[in-house]
């Protein structure tokens, strides 16, 4: 029997209602068309379902019928005619359900069911109320242990990973803001990405800070850029804030890293964990003629990573040996540009003592940034301090005007080599130096006093080499000598090595080698007068011969008379 226009038949209504009920059951873990409460079953696609069958199904499952009433058009009798309804493909990852004429998907009720049982929680992921084990969440994706494209190796045992967020990077946001204020005040205006480059942080971390400063009316947009960025300037209130920050410090460079992160980096790159072998030492001294006996003694001392005394006559290459020791270890380490110590800035990277060797990057706006740019990759440092060394150079140096502190030499040489050349000839007494380092050499850590009064503990992780022309026992007592486990004498070279040095240095100075002239020199000016050989003398005498020839417009060559002139000058007071 036909229905009035626009009113769907009761059979169609019952069929559609049962379809919705079965889909709700499917969402709750029951199979569509399966047994419902009361033991009745209803097909989901049978268009000939009778009104009585549908009614019995509804009576057997009153909870579902009651739950549909608030959210479905069926309860109000506004379901469209069967001929006007078309199937809608479900969105990937969501349950397929019928749609209303307006195109809105019919969803299961969010309110509790009529029986008081809990319904799905709004915003809850689909399938969370299924039986245990059917929809377990997958394991959390682990954070990559190393930056992309990098594998730890002996030459670079560690690389700092680019911070993913302010919190993950242990970044002091207040300190970053003060640096930004000082930088814009100094520059006048700056693009957002230029500010990010200045503080050496990803732009995605700096942009929210700039937006907040804009909301606080501390900065303003001067103009937009072609790269979807803005040029920032300080407002009047922003300039006042920046001037207040200038009273604390004038620093507006790279964002400092935490002291704890720096200490951890030293542990990961420690020189004591390298253990160089014989091949490593031979490679390090490949450009230096060194006696195998000397290399045999140096090897264990270098591998220990602790400390040594090099003593012997002047001119035998103690300094040259000490400067090449670092080459036996890995090539690179990472050090921070600056360290944050409870708001105090301690600068560590020093272009005068550190040689930067940054890895290649793609550059530009699409730079992947595979490392934390607050750090600098440098060649393992070799810092040499001679007679100019003072006690002040071993403590934190603070500039009272800028309120920026400079790390001492021993901190700058961490994970490398610190050479105290001409030990015993410094402006300070030997006792002062020994008392300053007697504990660090034993414990491998040092205490530094900041200008604000804070005392901090930092690693003392370097190979300390004391080079001296004097006998160590005449300089220091037994308590200090015990903390320097290796005492190595750099002896005079034998005659064969001395002659070999002339061959090597002739190539360096571009003077044709003449064995006859060398024989004359050795017999006349050394053996005849019982003069000891020194490693520095071949180079010095050849330079004297070269300069004599150039001055007199003579061909640069080795002759007996040229060596006579050179020896008269060189050994006149020796």
Residue 377 has pLDDT above 80, yes or no: yes
Tell me the average pLDDT across 402-428: 93
pLDDT reported for residue 64: 40
Sequential DSSP letters for 252-275: -SSPPEEHHHHHHHHHHT-GGGT-
Pairwise CA distance, residues 544 & 284, whole Å: 29
pLDDT-derived band at 345 (thresholds 50, 70, 90) equals: very high
pLDDT reported for residue 361: 67
DSSP single-letter state for residue 523? I
Mean of pLDDT over the chain: 80
- Tens of pLDDT, residue by residue over 438-484, are 889 889 999 999 998 999 999 999 999 999 988 777 888 787 888 88
Lowest mean pLDDT among 51-65, 186-200, 319-333, 528-542: 51-65
Percent of the chain with pLDDT over 90: 57
**Contact of 178 with 289, CB cutoff 8 Å:** no
SS3 content of the chain, % helix, strand, coil (to 5): 40, 15, 50
pLDDT-derived band at 540 (thresholds 50, 70, 90) equals: very high
- Tens of pLDDT, residue by residue over 244-290, are 999 999 999 999 999 999 999 999 999 987 889 999 999 999 888 88
Report how far apart the first and last C-alpha atoms of the chain are (Å, whole number): 133
Residue 104 has pLDDT above 90, yes or no: no
Residue 471: which of 312, 307, 252 has the closest Cα? 312
Residue 240: which of 173, 172, 176, 184 has the closest Cα? 184
Name the maximum alpha-carbon separation found in the chain.
139
* Long-range contacts formed by 130-136: CB under 8 A, 24+ apart: 130/28, 130/29, 131/29, 134/29
Say which residue, 185 or 127, is predicted with more confidence.
185
**Contact of 40 with 49, CB cutoff 8 Å:** no
pLDDT reported for residue 13: 65
Residue 70: which of 108, 23, 18 has the closest Cα? 108
> Cα separations (Å) of 460 from 57, 368, 394, 557?
81, 34, 12, 51
Within its chain, how far is the Cα of 316 from the centroid?
40
pLDDT reported for residue 503: 94
414: left (phi over 0), alpha (psi -120 to 50) or beta: beta
- Tens of pLDDT, residue by residue over 45-96, are 444 444 444 434 444 444 443 344 444 444 344 444 444 444 444 444 444 4
Pairwise CA distance, residues 75 & 78, whole Å: 8
Tell me the average pLDDT across 5-25: 62
Residue 69: which of 43, 108, 38 has the closest Cα? 108
Tell me the average pLDDT across 382-393: 92
pLDDT reported for residue 145: 52
pTM value > 0.75? no
**Contact of 327 with 290, CB cutoff 8 Å:** no
pLDDT reported for residue 259: 97
Tally of CB atoms within 10 A around 460: 22
């Amino acid at each position: 029997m036909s229905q009035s226009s626009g009113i769907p038949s009761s059979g169609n209504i019952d069929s559609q209602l049962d379809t919705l009920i079965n889909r709700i059951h499917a969402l709750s873990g029951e199979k569509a068309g399966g047994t419902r409460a009361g033991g009745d079953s209803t097909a989901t696609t049978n268009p000939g379902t009778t009104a009585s069958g549908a009614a019995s199904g509804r009576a057997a499952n009153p909870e579902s019928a009651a739950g549909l009433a608030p959210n479905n058009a069926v309860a109000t009798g506004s379901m469209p005619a069967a001929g006007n309804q078309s199937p809608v493909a479900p969105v990937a990852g969501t349950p397929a359900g019928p749609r209303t004429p307006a195109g809105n998907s019919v969803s299961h009720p969010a309110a509790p069911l009529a029986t008081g049982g809990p319904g799905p929680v709004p915003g809850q992921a689909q399938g969370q109320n299924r039986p245990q084990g059917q929809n377990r969440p997958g394991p959390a994706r682990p954070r990559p242990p190393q930056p992309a494209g990098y594998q730890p190796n002996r030459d670079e045992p560690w690389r700092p990973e680019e911070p993913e967020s302010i919190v993950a990077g242990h970044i002091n946001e207040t300190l970053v803001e003060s640096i930004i204020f000082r930088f814009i005040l100094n520059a006048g205006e700056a693009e957002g990405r230029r500010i990010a480059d200045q503080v050496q942080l990803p732009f995605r971390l700096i942009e929210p800070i700039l937006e907040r400063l804009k909301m606080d009316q501390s900065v303003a947009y001067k103009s937009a850029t072609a790269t979807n960025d803005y040029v920032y300037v300080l407002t009047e209130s922003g300039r006042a804030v920046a001037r207040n920050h200038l009273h604390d410090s004038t620093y507006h460079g790279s964002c400092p890293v935490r002291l704890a992160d720096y200490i951890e980096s030293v542990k990961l790159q420690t020189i004591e964990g390298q253990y160089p072998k014989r091949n490593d030492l031979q490679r390090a001294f490949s450009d230096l003629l060194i006696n195998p006996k000397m290399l045999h003694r140096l090897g264990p001392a270098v591998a220990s990573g602790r400390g040594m005394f090099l003593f012997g006559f002047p001119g035998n290459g103690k300094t040259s040996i000490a400067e090449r020791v670092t080459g036996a270890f890995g090539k690179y380490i990472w050090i921070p540009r600056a360290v944050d110590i409870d708001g105090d800035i301690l600068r560590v990277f020093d272009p005068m003592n550190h040689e930067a060797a940054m890895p290649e990057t793609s550059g530009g706006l699409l730079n992947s940034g595979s490392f934390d740019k607050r750090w600098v990759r440098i060649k393992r440092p070799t810092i040499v301090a001679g007679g100019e060394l003072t006690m002040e150079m071993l403590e934190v140096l603070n500039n009272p005007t800028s309120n920026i502190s400079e790390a001492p030499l021993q901190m700058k040489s961490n994970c490398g080599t610190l050479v105290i050349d001409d030990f015993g000839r410094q402006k300070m007494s030997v006792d002062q130096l020994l008392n300053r380092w007697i504990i660090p050499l034993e414990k491998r850590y040092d205490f530094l006093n900041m200008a604000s009064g804070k005392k901090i503990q930092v690693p003392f992780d370097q190979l300390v080499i004391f080079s001296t022309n004097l006998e160590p026992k005449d300089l220091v007592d037994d308590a200090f000598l015990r903390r320097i486990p290796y005492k190595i004498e750099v002896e005079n070279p034998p005659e064969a090595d001395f002659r070999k040095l002339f061959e090597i240095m002739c190539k360096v100075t571009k003077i044709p080698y003449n064995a006859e002239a060398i024989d004359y020199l050795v017999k006349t000016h050394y053996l005849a007068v019982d003069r000891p050989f020194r490693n520095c003398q071949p180079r010095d005498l050849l330079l004297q011969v070269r300069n004599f020839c150039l001055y007199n417009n003579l061909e640069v060559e080795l002759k007996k008379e040229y060596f006579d002139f050179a020896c008269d000058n060189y050994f006149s007071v020796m």
